[in-house]
Amino acid sequence: MSDDNQIYIPPSFFAVYSDARQRLREPIDVVRARYEICEDLASHLVGHAQIQHHTEVPVESEILRRIHAGLAVPESGVSVPEAGWIVQRLAELLGWEAPEPEPTPDAE
């Protein structure tokens, strides 16, 4: 592994890009780039969620549900599985109870 590729990607994010046999469906460089985007987005959403919690929506699960709904549309720039991961990570960063993961289309 080269020095510029030592970003730790958690197993939960690898699962977003893994098939049933736990093989990556995309090249590692793609997974790494998508992880960085999703992690940054989760971190960025912390402030937004806190403001919502203190001003408009006091129920944490409702805030997370709304954020997921906003991220789960094609225009958001993230896939539905990535949106689920971002919301899970956001809950973790906030110290809130994580919502149940959304079912993925290939989980049958």
Q: Is 26 left (phi over 0), alpha (psi -120 to 50) or beta?
A: beta
Structure confidence at residue 102 as a pLDDT band (50, 70, 90): low
pLDDT-above-90 percentage for the chain: 78
Q: Are 23 and 15 in contact (CB under 8 A)?
A: no
pLDDT category of residue 3 using cuts at 50, 70 and 90: very low
Segments of the chain assigned E as strands: none
33-58: per-residue pLDDT in tens? 999 999 999 999 999 999 999 898 78
Q: Rounded mean pLDDT of 55-64?
A: 89
List of residues 6+ apart from 17 with CB closer than 8 A: 24, 25, 26, 30, 31, 34
First to last CA, the chain: 35
Give the pair of three-digit tokens for residue 1. 């592994």
Which phi and psi (to 5°) does residue 42 adopt? -60, -45
Is-contact 63 52, C-beta < 8 A? yes
Q: What is the mean pLDDT of residues 54-72?
A: 92
Q: What is the mean pLDDT of residues 10-24?
A: 95
Amino acid identity for residue 10 in this structure:
P
Q: Which helix (H) or strand (E) covers residue 75, if one does?
A: none
When the pLDDT of each residue in the chain is averaged and rounded to a whole number, the result is 89
